[in-house]
Structure 1
Amino acid sequence: MVLTGLTTTFSAAAAVAGTREASAANSAYVFAYFTESPNQTAANYGLHLAVSTDGLNWQPLNQNNPVVTPTAGTLGLRDPFILRKQDGTFVILATDLNGTDFSQNNQYLHVWDSTNLTSFTGYRRVRMHGLNTHTWAPTAFWDQARGQYGIVYSANNGADVFMVNYTSDFRTVTTNQVYFSPGFGVLDGDVVVDGSTFYLYYKNLSTGLLYGARSGTGAPNSYTTYTSGLRQGNQMEAPLLIKDNSGSGWRLWGDSFSPVNNDFYAWSTSNVGANSWTALNQRTYTPPMNAKHGSIVGITSAEYSGLTARWGLPNWVRLKSSNFPDRFVRHANNLGRIDTYPMEPYQDQMWRMVAGLADGAGVSFQSVNYPTRYLRHYNYEIRLDVNDNTAAFRADATFSRVAGLSDSTWSSFRSYNVADRYLRHSNYVLRIDPISTATDREDATFRVTS
């Protein structure tokens, strides 16, 4: 479909909108994603949202349930992308694919409009091309020279390339054309405009690495790759580039190739135009639980408050190990331990941190998926037992939350009735022990997160 005669009135107050550049008005972030887990018990192909004030540690909204789900096409989405438009409102684009059957061909994208992400209107599917191929992983950007938005997505025209269509309203689009075809297969492009430079980050299908390219115009086939390949863990995809709200740095996220691996890794740089990305330690960030292939955009404090009021923050927590930050506290066979994330059943890592059963000034850990059971110590080992409401059980299941013994910004938990002992892991198993060494202090320190 060729776009003709369409005009859009842009707000002067939104001069940097549509580029995902940092804005002085932004003080928080929102993350859009879908969910999967190793055995796919968490698979949900609706639009999920999480919020963060630092852009690193995330709180899922709506108890990590979808806030909207497609009602046409495959009835599911992957790869949701949020763009703040020139008028300050949002548009959401997503792959029209429900599940993991990647052999399906689909010429459409899901599209919603939203004023502030507390509601979603104007749902439609937009046809992007007439090829017998997929339409995956959309990204969008404002092209000032054209006076239009570019929608870039992965497709195959005999080779795996990025296609682009231009639009003024995300309803009618120009005829598709090749946007980036470097001579090898590419997947999952993310385009961000910074001043007069357009950055395109992508996955090289021949190497499994993430790369960055740039252009002075953003025109089709104008990009030159300028970075070395990036990877953490196993093969990666879905690069996600975001400028800090402070305007002083950048982060790059990469999604793991499979839900059985850690879902996201991250890098940072102070200069996106240089080949100088530094891998972040997993202690510094916690992606939304079970999140897959999403997008991040800056939001204002008012938008953050509106999102949390509308959708609610989690009524559960997770406990992340300080010295094994890829592991979280969970129960298995009614024993407490720390295991690598992601895990199944994924609910085993979810806790309601309630007022202490023996002392309301303390805390107790109630299992989300076995709500009659709590973590308690017994012969110094941590077990998941049914609350029999005895004084002994209530005392064994109560802990005093204190500043982290190895990092005061994290937390440690002192036993209520054996006050010289703290909750810690040893050989990945949880117990309460006296703490004396630096290793002990690390073992007894956790981040309370979502």
Structure 2
Amino acid sequence: MSRAVVRLGATLTAAVLLFTSWSVATPGRAVALDPFTGYLMAHFTGESSTGQQIYLAHSTDGLRWTDLNNGAPVLRSTVGTRGVRDPALVRSPAGDRYWIIATDLCIGCGQNWDDAQHNGSRSLVVWESTDLVNWSAPWLLNVAGAIPDGRNAWAPEAIWNPETNDYVLYWATNSSRNGVTKHRIHSARTSTFRSITTAQVYIDRPGSQGIIDTQIVEVPTGVGSYRYVRASGDGQITVEGSNSILGSWTNLGNLSGIGLTGSQVEGPMWMKFNPRNEWALYLDQYASGRGYLPVLTGNPSSTGGYRIAASASYAMGGTRKRHGSILNLTAAEQSRVLGRWGSTVPVNRIQSYNVPDRYVRHADFDVRIDANVSPAQDAQFRLMPGLAGTGTVSFQSVNFPGYYLRHYGFDLRLEADDGTATFAGDASFRQVAGLANPSWTSFQSHNYPDRYIRHYDYLLRLDPINDTQGRGDATFRVTT
């Protein structure tokens, strides 16, 4: 998220955005038995209701990423604000259970930044899975309700703590303490992510300096001087080390030496490369809007050895990836994830039968047929399995993943899937033989089967078709 949207002045200095990075829970038995072969990133994409959901991306080398599910969300929140940001993906020590924890926040969906800071949700949104592909319904975990003057709960992270045999869950809450109102990192312990111990202040910077984004990574024995290293957004990207998650931490420096400060980047996200002792610290270039930038190191404890990756060495995929987390995948996990979300539906254009130089396109979210469409992606769609079920198709936009053609008042629009049955019905169509030419195609409405998609004065709408003109207007060709 862009910090330019909201600032807390002296209270938060340069750190005011909701971004969380995620800490990978110690994989335990999964590490001992199954080598890691790939990487899974959970993230969100932006401020829209569709963008503030759970997205996934996959990489085989940790630097070049491919969007999963054709760039559309894989999970949607149906609780709280019905939006989520900053997902943290956690694996159990045995490798047999997973959780996604995220900020309960939907900017622009009835809530603005001032409300979110001072009277936001005190809960996190949680999903649970045993296989990374089948997820429970989400639930709310109230973490900040008992914090005196606690006003929100942002940027959740969790890491397995072998000293207490449970997870340390930590997040940012804006509250007044000792006369200073700002974001501080709080922590609590949990085994199930359904209840927590009493929240405690975990990280509090001096004076009015706030802190929002923190992520901890565990470092193997023999690398550096500390078992745990954390990176935090607190005006700088501050790096600290410790040999105990709940113990004392030592300041190891920041990234200003390589030209990166909290006014430029935020949302630190750790990743260890398979199988070597090298790490990437991904940072969101929020000030320039360029998305994630990997900083590489062979020793997270030594900030003097950090180096910015060459731009040609990494690629972040098609969607903009906002503050998320990366999980190293075993071969079995990778196979399940790619089997569920890895297949790619071809990109198509929809050509008009009776005005063959024109193609279906969206323009300012209205839908029409035009020639010479620019940008070309406005006329590109994926014919997905229908949102309403078997026997139907839905048209997903290529440059607005998660947005579909749907009728509203019989007018065709491009809108974000809101997860409702009404939207699914309005965005689903039966692909039938062309009404004007059976070698072409017509699209019959799922919930108004007497109506078909047709163009009228080049605008697309849903109409009954009763004459030759209508049959031509309602006939199309799906092209690559």
Match of residue 170 from structure 1: 193
Assess if the C-alpha contact under 8 Å between 1:47 and 1:77 holds in 2.
yes
Q: Which stretches in structure 1 are left out of the alignment for 5+ residues?
A: 1-14, 318-332, 337-344, 353-366, 371-450
Count of matched residue positions in the alignment of Structure 1 and Structure 2: 312
Match of residue 7 from structure 2: none
Assess if the C-alpha contact under 8 Å between 1:63 and 1:314 holds in 2.
yes
Deviations 1:306-362 (A, max 9, x none): 112112344469xxxxxxxxxxxxxxx9699xxxxxxxx79469899xxxxxxxxxx
Match of residue 38 from structure 2: 28
Rounded to whole Å, the distance in 1 between the matches of 2:143 and 2:70 is 33
Does residue 51 of the first structure (1) align with residue 65 of the second (2)?
A: no
Does residue 143 of the first structure (1) align with residue 161 of the second (2)?
A: yes
After TM superposition, give the deviation of residue 369 of structure 1 in Å: 6.5
After TM superposition, give the deviation of residue 27 of structure 1 in Å: 0.4
Assess if the C-alpha contact under 8 Å between 2:26 and 2:160 holds in 1.
no
Q: 1:72 aligns with which of 70, 79, 83?
A: 79
Question: In the TM superposition, what are the counterparts of 1:390-401 in structure 2 within 5 Å?
Answer: none
Q: 1:286 aligns with which of 287, 292, 315?
A: 315
Structure 2: which amino acid aligns with 1:218?
I
Match of residue 333 from structure 2: 303
- Partner of 2:52, secondary structure, is strand
Does residue 92 of the first structure (1) align with residue 78 of the second (2)?
A: no
Question: In the TM superposition, what are the counterparts of 1:21-420 in structure 2 within 5 Å?
Answer: 25-36=35-46, 44-88=51-95, 89-99=97-107, 101-103=112-114, 104=116, 105-121=120-136, 123-130=138-145, 131-157=149-175, 158-183=181-206, 184-195=209-220, 197-205=227-235, 209-219=236-246, 222-230=248-256, 232=260, 235-257=264-286, 261-275=289-303, 276-288=305-317, 289-315=319-345, 347=377
Assess if the C-alpha contact under 8 Å between 1:200 and 1:213 holds in 2.
yes
- Partner of 1:73, secondary structure, is coil
Rounded to whole Å, the distance in 1 between the matches of 2:195 and 2:376 is 41
TM-score (norm 1): 0.63
Rounded to whole Å, the distance in 2 between the matches of 1:142 and 1:20 is 14
Rounded to whole Å, the distance in 2 between the matches of 1:153 and 1:351 is 39
Structure 2: which amino acid aligns with 1:134?
N
Assess if the C-alpha contact under 8 Å between 2:213 and 2:234 holds in 1.
no
- Go from structure 1 to structure 2 and tell me whether the alpha carbon gap of 1:32 and 1:316 turns closer, same or farther (over 3 Å shift): farther
Q: Whose strand proportion is higher, 1 or 2?
A: 1
Deviations 1:220-245 (A, max 9, x none): 6x222202234559621100012112
